[in-house]
Structure 1
Amino acid sequence: MSKEVQTIVTILDQQYEEIVVGTRSLTERYISASMEIYKKTGIKSVIAAVSIRRY
Structure 2
Amino acid sequence: MGQTPHPVGDGKTEDRYQLSEDSAMGEFLTVDILADGIAILGALGFFFLGYQALQMLER
TM-score category of the 2 structures, normalised to the smaller one: 0.5 to 0.7
Identity across aligned pairs (percent)?
A: 5
Calculate the aligned-residue CA RMSD, in Å.
Answer: 1.0
Higher-helix-fraction structure: 2
Larger Rg: 2
Equivalent residues in 2 for 1:7-46, closer than 5 Å: 7-40=26-59
Q: Output one character per residue of 1:24-51: Cα deviation in whole Å (capped at 9) or x when no partner.
A: 10011101100010112xxxxxxxxxxx
Provide the C-alpha distance between the structure 2 equivalents of 1:28 and 1:22, rounded to a whole number of angstroms. 10
Unmatched segments (≥5 aa) in structure 1: 41-55
**TM-score, length basis structure 1:** 0.63
TM-score normalised by L of structure 2:
0.59
Aligned residues: 39
CA shift for structure 1 position 5: 2.7
